[in-house]
Structure 1
Amino acid sequence: MAESALRPIESIPAAVLFDMDGLMLDSEQAMLETWREAALAESIDADDSLWLAMVGVHDRASFAMLTQRLGEDAATRLRDTSYRLYDQRVVAGLPRKSGLLELLDLLEAHGIPKAVATSTRRERALSKLAASGLIDRFAVIVTGSDVEHPKPAPDIYLLAARELGVDPRRCLVLEDSEPGVRAALAAGAMPIQIPDLIEPGEELRGFGHRIAASLEQVREMLAGVLGGGGASAVAVRG
């Protein structure tokens, strides 16, 4: 894939809002693996494309997609078995994405507020963050349990900004998925997308948001504008 220069960040953000799955935690690969295990255990024909279509989608909407495709009985069995297998991995602690801790250190060193804004329901989100050693790094954690309308609606990012006491239009949002990018844009925030398992399609790229290859590159961008070292523009996907 051709690379181009990522536009530098022009000003210091009032806050940085983090998605969780696929952005901070290497959880989407774990979800895909447990999906495959559950489908095999339940003798259900459910290929990877169905699961990938649900990446970044709220639990209620993803179960509706499953039910439409597989029927309620098979969808329920597949969901429950995959959740059970996945919960075992959550308890063990999901791997953190490369560069995450260094990025958090940089923001804390410069006093930049930060929040988690995840579509995952609260109980599971807190479990993931705790098991991965991240829960104490965020004063504000907003989940899918806290809003009426999940991503791609802007509610979760508007609430995160409000709880931090900042203008959402001055927030930097870090996302991996299309629904999350759309939610950030709808909130008036500035998203940087770091794709995980799914590359952004042409329609999403048409929004013109920044698309980085890694959290390390995001850190370099922020270090440039914060004066903490690093380049203010880096090579990215796109």
Structure 2
Amino acid sequence: MNALIFDCDGVLADTERDGHRVAFNTVFAEYGIEFAWSVEGYSEALKTAGGKERLQVLLTPEFRRQHGISDGEVDSLVTSWHTRKTEVFVAMLADGQLPPRPGVRRLAAEAAEAGWSLAVASTSAHASVRAVLKHVVGADLARSFTLFAGDDVKQKKPAPDIYLRALAGIEVLPSDAVVVEDSEIGVRAARAAALPVIATWSTYTGEEDLSGAGIVVDSLGEPGGPHLAVTTNRSHLPIVDAVVLEHIRGLLTSSKVGQEVGE
């Protein structure tokens, strides 16, 4: 059996700049913290995978002194802030503030119809991932997905743990699965799990090194829509306006051939 595994943030929807960042800043304001992540500042924060981990990095000794936070409060504050941030973020999705990225629902439906397993492997919280997935593909198709997220693993991307967990959970070999990612650390995580990758760069990741992916495009696109920007295509099939299941099959074949010749 084959499988198609999606990252969540930046892949299903472009959620980081106008979603998670805004939700975090809302929480800071609610807790009386005179700090807000700028667009540029959050780009730097995204080098750390996982929302809780991002908060841990933010709460330096200097930050704690400036905001009157004791050392003993850090863990409980991180948990409280992250829980509240997830609530705010889910409400933003429900309000339709974060549109789905092109082609995700179409490609997932095509794979499901062909009998492929579907999964999401993300470092975000389960509640956020479920909300984004349902928002993007609809409740019916979302039930076809297996979710792996947040606290399912100890080591976040670029460690391969979340993808290894997903492979074990859906009982698929790396040679039979393809990942859709948007970031350098995501591509590195998937490749470390020996998985071929399609990369669709997002707001924050257009300048990142996505060269580990076998296909790199600006989005998954829609048939009849605008032509895609294609910087890498190892499927050996032309990509014009949409990435379709045949491209994924071609990438799998190309990856298997590469492994056989020792690439």
Instruction: Give the structure-2-normalised TM-score.
Output: 0.67
Equivalence for 1:195: 201
What's the secondary structure of 1:61's corresponding residue? helix
State the SS of the aligned residue for 1:157. Answer: helix
User: Per-residue deviation at 1:122?
Assistant: 1.8
The answer to whether 1:223 aligns with 2:253 is no
Unpaired segments ≥5 residues, structure 1: 1-12, 228-238
CA distance in 2, matches of 1:106, 1:46: 38
* Higher RCO (CA < 8 A, seq sep 6+): 1
Structure 1 SS opposite 2:157? coil
Tell me if 1:22 matches 2:10. Answer: yes
- Give yes or no for the alignment of 1:213 onto 2:218: yes
| Corresponding position: 1:185 with 2:191 | yes
1:52 matched to which residue of 2? 43
1:186 Cα offset (Å): 0.6
**Equivalence map 1:89-128=2 (5 Å):** 89-93=92-96, 94-128=98-132
User: What is aligned with 1:32?
Assistant: 21
CA contact (8 A) 1:178 1:200 kept: no
Aligned partner of 1:66 among 42, 47, 58 = 58
Q: Go from structure 1 to structure 2 and tell me whether the alpha carbon gap of 1:157 and 1:91 turns closer, same or farther (over 3 Å shift).
A: same
Structure 2 counterpart SS, 1:183: helix
Distance (Å, rounded) in 1 between the aligned partners of 2:87 and 2:149: 20
Q: Which structure 2 segments of 5+ residues have no match? A: 222-227, 229-238, 251-263
Q: Secondary structure at the match of 2:243?
A: helix
Shift in Å, 1:113: 1.5
Match of 2:235 in 1: none
Task: Compute the RMSD of aligned alpha carbons.
Answer: 3.3
TM-score where L is the length of structure 1 = 0.73
Task: Flag the structure with larger Rg.
Answer: 2
- Tell me, what secondary structure is at the counterpart of 2:45? coil
Shift of 1:79: 4.8
8 A Cα contact 1:35 1:51, kept in partner: no
More displaced stretch, 208-217 vs 69-78: 69-78
Q: For each residue in 1:145-180, what CA deviation from the matched residue of structure 2 results, as whole angstroms up to 9, or x when unmatched?
A: 211211111111111112221112332100112221
Query: Structure 1 residues 226 and 86, CA, compared in 2 at 3 Å: closer, same or farther?
Result: closer
Change (3 A) 1:43 1:152: same
* AA partner of residue 161 (structure 2): D
CA distance in 2, matches of 1:185, 1:111: 24
Larger mean CA deviation between 109-118 and 26-35 belongs to 26-35
